[in-house]
Chain A
C-alpha cells in the first residue's frame, strides 16, 4: 500500500475494465441508484458479448444459447447510460494522466478505475501445449472452439481433475466423445475432497463411462498415430487423443496491474485492502484478479461481495471486504458434492466424524473444533441434503448438539435439520445475493407475504438456487411469527389446499359441489371455492359446465361462455387452431363482426377477438359461427387457450418440422382441459423460435430429430423462460410427456397458480418433475395418461351443446321479464370501430342502441 490516507474521488468518470460477472455486478449495483449517481460509467470488455453467466456455461450443451446466459443485454447498458465497449480490451493504464487506452486506440479519462479482469486458465508449460487442438474452458468462444473440434473427434482428454476439469469432462461427454481426465494429484478434486471422497467421486464418474487417470504427470504432447495428439506421461503408457482441454486451475489476469506498476502478490494477483483499493487510491480491483490478504477468491459470490464493497466506497459509504466463505455445493455429472469451511480438517486440533455408505455411494465427513463444540467444516459426496444445515452451523458458530455425529448419520426418525429459529439474524441465507435472515424478515415486515414475494424483493434464491429449501423454512417461520397463518386452505369453506381437495374428490368419486361441500366443507361456498371445485370436477369428469348442478359454480365468463368486459358486455373468441384459418372462415368472422357491430382485434395467441357483444346476442353470434364450422375457443375458461405456431417446414426456408401440423394436433388434443389457471402453448418449427415457445406453459421447438419440450414458461407480469424438459422426442413421446405434465399440474397446483409458479414451488423442482413424468418415480404416469384420455373423450364444444338446449339458452336473456337490451351499454366510435363510452365522452358522440 502507498501513502497513509488515500484521497477518495467522489464523482466523475468511472472506468471499469472487464465485463465478467463481477464487473457487471458492480455496474448493476451502481446503475440501480438511477440518475442520482455521481458516476459516469465506461465499461471495457475484451470479449465480444456483454457479461454472461459463466457459472452455467455448460448449459450451452443443454440447448441453451449464449443469449440465454446473458446477464443484461446491450440495450440495458444504453438505457442506464453506461458506455459499453465490447471486443476492445484496455491495453494501457496511464496513472499519471489518469487515462486508459484500448487495443483499438480509444482513450478514456478516469477519476476512478476498477479492474475486474478476472482470471485466465492456467496451461502448464508442457512441451507441445501450443498445438491447435489444445484448448481451454472458460468463455463462450472457448466452448464454441471445443464444439467445432469435437465434431470430427472421437476422444477428448481434460487435463485437471478439479471442479472445472470435471465440468469440462462432462461437456466432452455430452458432445459424444470418449472422455478421459488426467490429474496430477493421486485423486479427483484434491482441493475440496479427501482420499475417501475422491475415490467415491471417481467410482461414480467412471460409472458414467469417463476414464480417470490420477497421479499422471504429462511430460510431452506430440503427434499421435491413430489420433491427432499423443500425451506422454512420466512412467506410464502414453494416451492418444483428438483434443485436449486444459483445466488445471486459474491465474489472476493481472497484466494491466503489472503494466501500471500496481503492487502485485508474489505469485500474481493485484493486492487490495479491505476496501478493494489497490496501491493506487484511485484504482480498485475486484474478483479473481484481486489478491486480498494473500488470497484469490475463485468463486462468484466473494466477487459480488467485492463489487458491492467498491460500490459502497464509491458512494462514500462504509464498505468492507473481510474475506469470504468458500463453501460450495454442486452437482458434477449427477453426483452431489459439497464442501463446507475447513473440509480437510487443517485447523489445529480438529477432530473428524466420518460416515460412509458404499452401497448407496454416500460419504459424509464432519470436522469439529478440538473442544467438539463447533463445526469447522464438512465434506459431502453423493448426497448434499445436510449441506445447508452444516453450513449454517459453521457460518454462525452455532453450538453442536450433544451427539455431533447425528448431523451426518442417516436420518432415523427426525433429520437433524436446523430450524429457521436457531439461526441468528445475521445468518446469510443466500450467498449469491448476500441476503441475510434479517433482510428476509425486514422484507416480511415491509409487506411481503409469500416465498415468491421474498424472491422478488430480495433476489434471495434467484442465483444458484442452492438455498431454496432453507429460504422456504425461514420465510415460513417468519410468516408464522408475524401471525400470518401459513395455510393453504382454499377459503373459509374448505380447510384443505386445492391439491388435497382434488384428491378427496378423486378418491371419493364425488361429482357435485353439494356432495363435496357436505363431505369436506361447510357453509354455502363462495366465489373462491365454487369455481375451484367446478374446475376440479371438470378436469376429472369433464361434464358440460352448464349442467344445472354446475352452472351456479362458474365464474360469469364460464357461465356465459364468453369474456366479460368492463361495461358488462362480452368478447367472443372462436378457436383458430394454431392460428391457421381459411379465407372463408376469416370472411365469416368479418361478416359476423360487422353484422353485430363488434370491435375486432387480433389476439397475441393468433386468434380474433370480437368485443362488445351483449348477453342476449351471444347465442345468435355463436349460431352463425358454428354454422361456419367454428367451435368455442375457451378464452373464457381457466383452460387450454391456444397453441401458437410459426409456419414451419411447410413454407419456411429454415423450418425442420411441420410446426403448424403439430400445433393443430396439440390444440385439438388438449382443448377443453380445465386447469388451475389458463394454459398457453406454442410450437416453433426450428431453433429460431419465431413462435416464442419458451414463454409458454408448454413450448415445443423442432429439432432435426424431432421435438424439444419446454415446460412452465410464462409471459405476463412476471415473465419466466420455460425449462428444457426433454429433447428429440417423437410425436408420440411428446404428447405422452405433455399428457403427464399437464395432468400432474392439474392434480397438484394451487388455485390460480400458473405452471411457472407451480414449478418454482414444487419441492425438488425440475429434477423432481422429470422423475415423476419421465422416470415415473411415483408410479402414476399411466393414471395421468388415462385421466387425460377421459377428458379428451368427453370433450364437447360447449357452445354447440348450449345452442341445442332450451334450458341452457334461457340464461342468455337480457331480463327474465323483458327482451329489451341493457340501455346503459353505450358506445363511442373510434378509429372506425365501437368502444365503451366513458363519462368523459361528449354526449353527442355517444351512440344509443338501435333496437
Chain B
C-alpha cells in the first residue's frame, strides 16, 4: 500500500497522541516536537487490554526507549519497535510515518509483521 495523507501537523497534539483511521485500521499517531524524528505511529489497539486506546496513553521514555503507556493497564509499548516492555511475547504493529511540510502521511507496516490486534 502506498502513503496515505491523514492530516496536517496542526491537527496533532504536541507531546501526545491522536487516533487515525487508515483503510479501516486504527493507528495511534504521536507527535514529539523535540525529538528527531518528531512523528511515531503504532497500532492503536492495546493487545492486552483489548481496546483501541493506545493513542490516549502518556508518552515518555523508559530506560532510554521512547514509549507510550497504555491507559488501561499501564504496560509500555515502544514507539520504535512496537514491543511491549513488560511482556516480551506481545507487540503492536509499527506504521511508517512521514512529514511532508505540514502534511502527515502513513503507510502500513511491512506485510511480514505480525499484526497483533487487527
Contacts and interface: CB of A to CB of B under 8 A. Distances in A.
Given A552-B13, A816-B11, A527 B74 contact: yes
Contacts of B22: 817
Contacts of A817: 6-7, 20-22
A525 B32 CA distance: 12
A33 B26 CA distance: 54
Contacts of B69: 526-527
A816 B52 contact: no
Interface string B23-67: 000100100100000000000010001111100111111111011
Contacts of B49: 566, 568
Contacts of B76: 527
A526 B62 contact: yes
A843 interface: no
A215 to B, nearest CB: 70
A408 to B, nearest CB: 51
Nearest to B67: A526
B113 interface: no
A421 interface: no
A816 B6 contact: yes
Contact of A824 (B16, B51, B62): B51
Contacts of B90: none
Nearest to B106: A817
A523 interface: yes
Interface residues of A, number: 35
User: Counting chain A CB atoms within 10 Å of each CB, which of B51, B57, B64 scores highest?
Assistant: B51
A560 B56 CA distance: 9
B76 to A, nearest CB: 8
Contacts of B58: 526-527, 530-531, 552-556
Contacts of B16: 551-552, 559
B92 interface: no
A551 to B, nearest CB: 6
Interface string A793-823: 0000000000000000011011111101010
A551 B15 contact: yes
Nearest to B24: A823
Contacts of A567: 50-51
Contact of A816 (B12, B63, B74): B12
Contact of A564 (B6, B12, B72): B72
A842 interface: no
Given A552-B16, A816-B11, A566 B56 contact: no
B14 interface: yes
Given A523-B61, A566-B49, A816 B29 contact: yes
B21 A568 contact: no
Contacts of B56: 556, 559-560, 564
A296 B64 CA distance: 66
Contact of A551 (B13, B20, B45, B62): B13
B84 interface: no
A531 B67 CA distance: 16
Interface string A536-569: 0000000000001001111111011000101110
A564 B7 contact: no
Contacts of A559: 16, 56
B18 interface: yes
Nearest to A550: B15
Contact of B60 (A526, A568, A816): A526
Contacts of A822: 26, 52
Given A566-B51, A824-B52, A548 B14 contact: yes
Nearest to A813: B18
A492 interface: yes
Contacts of A492: 62-63
A241 to B, nearest CB: 66
B19 interface: yes
* B interface, size bucket: 35 or more
A524 interface: yes
Interface in B89-116: none
A492 B85 CA distance: 15
Contact of B59 (A531, A552, A568, A816): A552
A815 B19 contact: yes
A818 B60 contact: no
A820 B22 CA distance: 12
Interface in A566-620: 566-568
A815 B21 contact: yes
Contacts of B63: 492
A636 B58 CA distance: 16
B52 A568 contact: yes
B19 A556 contact: no
Contacts of B20: 815-818
A136 to B, nearest CB: 59
A552 B19 contact: no
A554 B16 CA distance: 10
A558 to B, nearest CB: 10
Contacts of A551: 13, 15-16
A813 B7 CA distance: 13
Contacts of A814: 19
A560 B50 CA distance: 20
Nearest to B64: A523
A811 B72 contact: no
Contacts of A529: 60
Nearest to A817: B6
Given A492-B62, A552-B14, A810-B11, A568 B6 contact: no
A398 B11 CA distance: 71
Nearest to A567: B51
A564 B69 CA distance: 14
A529 to B, nearest CB: 8
Nearest to A529: B60
Contacts of A566: 49-51, 72
Given A548-B14, A566-B49, A566-B72, A524 B60 contact: yes
Given A566-B72, A816-B6, A822-B52, A556 B57 contact: yes
A809 to B, nearest CB: 12
A403 to B, nearest CB: 50
Given A566-B49, A568-B51, A527 B57 contact: yes
Contact of B53 (A526, A564, A815): A564
A815 B104 CA distance: 14
B56 to A, nearest CB: 4
B62 to A, nearest CB: 6
A554 B74 CA distance: 13
B72 A527 contact: no
Nearest to A524: B61
Given A556-B56, A811-B13, A524 B66 contact: yes
B51 A552 contact: no
A284 to B, nearest CB: 53
Contacts of A548: 14
Contacts of A556: 53, 56-58, 71
Given A564-B71, A822-B52, A530 B6 contact: no
Interface in A303-326: none
Interface of A: 492-493, 523-527, 529-531, 548, 551-557, 559-560, 564, 566-568, 810-811, 813-818, 820, 822, 824
27 contacts: A524-B61, A526-B58, A526-B61, A526-B67, A527-B60, A527-B69, A530-B58, A552-B14, A552-B15, A554-B58, A556-B57, A559-B56, A560-B56, A564-B53, A564-B72, A566-B51, A567-B50, A568-B49, A568-B52, A811-B13, A811-B18, A815-B26, A817-B6, A817-B21, A818-B20, A820-B21, A822-B26
Given A556-B57, A559-B16, 13 more contacts: A525-B60, A525-B61, A552-B13, A552-B59, A555-B58, A555-B71, A556-B58, A560-B56, A811-B18, A816-B29, A817-B22, A818-B21, A824-B45
Closest 6 CB pairs of A and B: A552-B15, A526-B60, A527-B69, A568-B51, A556-B71, A527-B58
